[in-house]
A and B are shown apart, each in its own frame.
Chain A
Amino acid sequence: MNTIYTLLPLLIIVAASLLVMILEVFFKREDRSYLAYISLLFLIASAAACVKFWNKSYSYFDGSLSLNNIVLFIIIILIVATFLVVLISMKYLTLQNANYGEYYALLLFALSGMIIMVSSADLIVIFLGLEVLSLSSYALAGLRRQDEKSNEAAVKYFLLGSFASAFLVLGIAFLYGATQATAIPSVVEGLQSGSSASTLGLVGLGLIVVGFGFKVAVIPFHMWTPDVYQGAPTPITAFFSVGPKAVGFIVLLRIFAPYFQDALESKLMFGLLWFIAAITMIGGNLIALRQTNVKRILAYSSIAHAGYLMVAILARDTQSLVFYLTAYLFMNIGAFAAVISLGKRDHEYLELEDYKGIGFRYPWIGATFAVFLISLAGFPPTGGFLAKFYVFSAAVRQGLISLVIIGVLASLVSVFYYLRIIIYMYMKEPSYEVDIHIDNPSLFLALFLCLYGVLQLGIFPGNILLLIRQAVTSLPLF
């Protein structure tokens, strides 16, 4: 059934972003929070469309865009992420003096780019989606125009991002040269048939790894991450740490899961990704130890998590990857939401010193933040533990035992800095008053939703797991 309706989830988002952009002109500055409500409505509509298409499989534009259960599931994850980001942004924008109407429009554009990326198996279309995502991201990073750090973030992100895009295009060109195809299945097939073009193909794959390695922030392509995460408005940082990372990994999985099935041909690339995964897990966690700014700690933590996700790619396990992304979405956005909640007009509390005694001064915020940190560190009974459990267990199944040992030891290191934030919150006496703007209902809704998500996924993940499992087995991604 190839009708235009198959594009419905995507079209709703695009329509919403255009609408928000137009309406912005008509709203007064103080009324702009209505734009957020409109965005939320459209996000819900789009998610509903995804649910409606469940168990049906569509493809459109000669297969350049295709929807099936697992893609729909990932789209829903992305929509939920954006939904939460909108919730945590509402008050933040007014408080931090960044209440621009284009904010929500850009956010929705970025989402539409991500939806294009995950629903396509064609490298050119993926690139198209990536550019939509990237251009909106650059603008979002620099949203706080008066803030030097935010400007720095935007420029850094833009410059390095353009490089990465260039690498990606070059990689696609090489792959086309090697296999005369841009659709991922044919590309992989072409590479595996092992002709003389394989060197060309390897270079192409390598360049693609560089391009996406940048997007998902794995070491050694991570240099931009801490500065951008620190400089960008905090809700946008939350968005960056989840959305682009998720789609990047989905695309990598699409390419490498079938490619790695041929163990002999793919040895070199496998080794490369193995190395990247190991160094990302070790490096991300080790550097995070030295940070004193909470946003930077979370930035390096997100690098480390990219390493764990890379392990799932190497294990070729869609199920654990998708589950990890789901759990990661809740715990990471939740952690950023907690960071945002500790702010007042024109000021955010971001240094570790500010967190002294927060746990008792604001018990609910402190406790939820602690839960997110514990989940990020991978303690049971939270979603973060189960996510790691599935990824590492899948990796052991594929015989990647040494990588798993590196992974668990790296996560031991991570325990130290996650707990360090908790130490400041609960075990040190405050040396000065931290005064926060507490009237922020949408943020607390987001905090609650994330908390619920983390605990549900940690204690009773049965339904979600079943859903993912069925989606994966009925129609694999690749």
Chain B
Amino acid sequence: MEIPILSIVTFLPAAGALLFIFINRDKENLLRYLALIISIATFIASLFLYFNFNAQTPDPQFVEKAAWIGGGINYHIGIDGISLYLILLTTFLMPIVVLSSWTYIQKRVKEYLIFMFLLQTGIIGVFVSLNLFLFYVFWEAMLIPMYFLIGIWGGKRKIYATVKFVLFTMFGSLLMLVAIFYMYNLFYKATGTYSLNIFDYYRMILNPSVQVWLFLAFGLAFAIKVPMFPFHTWLPDAHVEAPTAGSVVLAAVLLKMGTYGFLRFAMPMFPDALKKFLPLLGILCVIGIIYGGLMALIQKDVKSLVAYSSVSHMGLIMLAIFALNMEGIQGGIYQMLNHGLSTGALFLCVGILYERSHTRMIKDFGGVSKQMPVFSAFFMICMLSSVGLPGLNGFVGEILCLFGVFKANKLLAILGVTTVILAAGYLLWMFQRVMQGPITNDKVRSFKDLNLREIIYLTPIVVMMFWMGIYPQTFLRKMDVSISNLLNQVNRKEAIFTEASKEGIKAPAFIMTEKVKETDTTAKEDKGSQ
């Protein structure tokens, strides 16, 4: 029997959470060490995915499939070149997150770790699901632990922030659920079998007028998650109020669920509608880029500055993905990873400052680098990576993104470049005010430099920043085939539908390409039991 490695990566954290339930809450250090071990074990298991990944095929790999509820609802997971890296990013950050909250979280450590690990399973589950139902389950289930993380361990306005976060996200995803029902039903009418397998939906070509509505429903859910302007308002609140580790996970991985949703669902399933909305989406992205950057410039709180920088960066990522060419999507995905690393790292740095000063206001700092030279070096690298300095990861991603956008639309590319300029502005200015200059606040004099634990968890991130900046081929290579497959999918569908309508077929609601191959044996069994 093969080892179900993907299931292990997905559910190991949840198993850990289950284990924590039965450990006495007073044994806090035991809990912390166990958490570290489990998160590292998960990371190692996910490395196995990376090394055994076959970059030549666009088909999903490490596929596991089992009958679950019936009626098309199966346990069906697998990864391709797009999801592989997002999983790695998640598992890579988890030990770091556990280490970073070692002393930051003092009360209710047990519950904290339980929710953290449930969250990880939810996130990985989203990236591996190949069944729409399974995907939706993870997508929604992930909200609950995040809700508790912000709500229990958050800052002053934690309850407002967490409720806003949940309601915003749910609003989008509930409409997406209705769209899923609609497609589920449509597929049943077309084939007589129930299926929620996303590859079956890839083969189903919908009438463009139907696609518009479905795209809006799916797109809204993902756009809120990304978040794209004007659905971004939950983000600064959630980021600022969340505990450091929560912000890191939120920025580094959770937002990527939105972009991933576009790549995996909204774009390949509804390509005609996508093309119809492209101008509007492009404009929203550009507004997001500029608005996020300008808002970041005027923030007084370091954390909300980083939060708004996320809005700006995510705007560029979406813009690149909507360029619909190889460079753009590749850059978009690469930039997703970069953003995960650099924004995650920036939040960690802000957390380190906060642990020492219990404030995040820029005006309370100044001259910190004199007291904390080691920290200053780390902070500067992370900051420059976010700015996009050549040699660091951000540069590669941004260049690819902008190449892609430039190919597709020159005006948008010119406007999109502002993200780099603005980022340099707000980040360097912030760095200058916080780290350099004379020490104005006496509190700063008592700051201690990084301890070993903090150095240990910042180092891997910085190493990755250099690696991804200097030798990006390690990462890009394995994406190529999956991305070109995605592009084919987006372009091919349109062609078929136009041909069909030319032949005078009165616009049907959908056309099936190839006969639904083995709509898989499970689906057929379902038909029997319906």
Chain A contact residues, CB within 8 Å of chain B: 360, 374, 379-381, 385-386, 389, 392-393, 396-397, 401, 404-405, 408-409, 411-412, 415-416, 419, 422-423, 426-428, 460-462, 465-466, 469
A434 to B184: give the CA distance in the assembly, Å: 49
Please tell me if B421 contacts chain A, counting CB pairs below 8 Å: no
CB interface residues, B 155-189, toward A, < 8 Å: 158-159, 162-163, 166-167, 170-171, 174-175, 177-178, 181-182, 184-185, 188
Please tell me if B141 contacts chain A, counting CB pairs below 8 Å: yes
- Report the tally of A-B residue pairs with Cβ distances under 8 A: 82
Please count how many residues in chain B sit with their CB below 8 Å of the partner chain's CB atoms. 35
B137 surroundings in chain A (CB, below 8 A): 380-381, 385
Please tell me if B136 contacts chain A, counting CB pairs below 8 Å: yes
The 4 A-B pairs with the shortest beta carbon distances in the complex, nearest first, are: A396-B181, A408-B174, A380-B137, A427-B151
Interchain nearest-CB distance for A393 vs B (Å): 5
Stretch at the interface among B142-150, B350-358, B409-417: B142-150
Please tell me if B425 contacts chain A, counting CB pairs below 8 Å: no
Contact status B529-A416, CB under 8 Å? no
CB-based nearest A residue for B217 = A405
Contact status A408-B175, CB under 8 Å? yes
B143 surroundings in chain A (CB, below 8 A): 379
Interchain nearest-CB distance for A422 vs B (Å): 8
Please tell me if B481 contacts chain A, counting CB pairs below 8 Å: no
Main SS at interface, chain A:
helix
Determine which of B167, B175, B177, B188 lies in contact with A415 in the assembled complex, contact meaning CB atoms within 8 Å.
B167
Contact status B174-A411, CB under 8 Å? yes
Contact status A415-B166, CB under 8 Å? yes
Contact status B166-A419, CB under 8 Å? yes
Chain B 396-428, CB-CB to A under 8 Å as 1, else 0, gives: 000000000000000000000000000000000
CB-based nearest B residue for A462 = B69
CB pairs A–B below 8 angstroms (21 shown): A379-B140, A380-B136, A392-B178, A393-B181, A396-B178, A396-B184, A396-B185, A397-B181, A397-B185, A401-B178, A405-B178, A412-B170, A412-B171, A415-B166, A415-B170, A416-B167, A423-B151, A426-B148, A426-B151, A428-B159, A462-B69
Contact status B529-A469, CB under 8 Å? yes
B69 surroundings in chain A (CB, below 8 A): 386, 460-462, 465
A360 to B25: give the CA distance in the assembly, Å: 11
CB-based nearest B residue for A397 = B185
Interchain nearest-CB distance for A470 vs B (Å): 9
Please tell me if B300 contacts chain A, counting CB pairs below 8 Å: no
Interchain nearest-CB distance for B184 vs A (Å): 7
Interchain nearest-CB distance for B12 vs A (Å): 17
Interchain nearest-CB distance for B197 vs A (Å): 16
B171 surroundings in chain A (CB, below 8 A): 409, 412
Main SS at interface, chain B:
helix
Contact status B70-A466, CB under 8 Å? yes
A393 to B136: give the CA distance in the assembly, Å: 14
A374 to B140: give the CA distance in the assembly, Å: 11
A381 to B137: give the CA distance in the assembly, Å: 6
CB-based nearest B residue for A380 = B137
Interchain nearest-CB distance for A429 vs B (Å): 11
Please tell me if B108 contacts chain A, counting CB pairs below 8 Å: yes
B15 surroundings in chain A (CB, below 8 A): none
Among A380, A397, A408, which residue has the most Cβ atoms of chain B within 10 A?
Answer: A380
Contacts A379-B144, A427-B162 known; 14 new A-B pairs at CB < 8 A: A374-B144, A385-B137, A389-B177, A392-B178, A396-B182, A404-B178, A408-B174, A408-B178, A412-B174, A416-B163, A423-B151, A465-B70, A466-B529, A469-B530
Interchain nearest-CB distance for A52 vs B (Å): 25
Please tell me if B68 contacts chain A, counting CB pairs below 8 Å: yes
Among B141, B144, B184, which residue has the most Cβ atoms of chain A within 10 A?
Answer: B144
Please tell me if B152 contacts chain A, counting CB pairs below 8 Å: yes
B170 surroundings in chain A (CB, below 8 A): 412, 415
Among A374, A379, A404, A428, which residue has the most Cβ atoms of chain B within 10 A?
Answer: A379
Interchain nearest-CB distance for B234 vs A (Å): 14
Contact status A412-B167, CB under 8 Å? yes
Interchain nearest-CB distance for B67 vs A (Å): 8
CB-based nearest A residue for B138 = A380
CB-based nearest A residue for B133 = A389
Contact status B184-A393, CB under 8 Å? yes
A428 to B162: give the CA distance in the assembly, Å: 13
Given A396-B185, A427-B151, are A419 and B70 neighbors across the interface (CB < 8 Å)? no
B163 surroundings in chain A (CB, below 8 A): 416, 419, 423
A428 surroundings in chain B (CB, below 8 A): 159
CB-based nearest A residue for B107 = A360
A419 to B182: give the CA distance in the assembly, Å: 29
Interchain nearest-CB distance for B261 vs A (Å): 17
CB-based nearest B residue for A402 = B178
Interchain nearest-CB distance for A368 vs B (Å): 12
A379 surroundings in chain B (CB, below 8 A): 140-141, 143-144
CB-based nearest B residue for A399 = B185
Given A423-B151, A461-B69, are A392 and B181 neighbors across the interface (CB < 8 Å)? yes
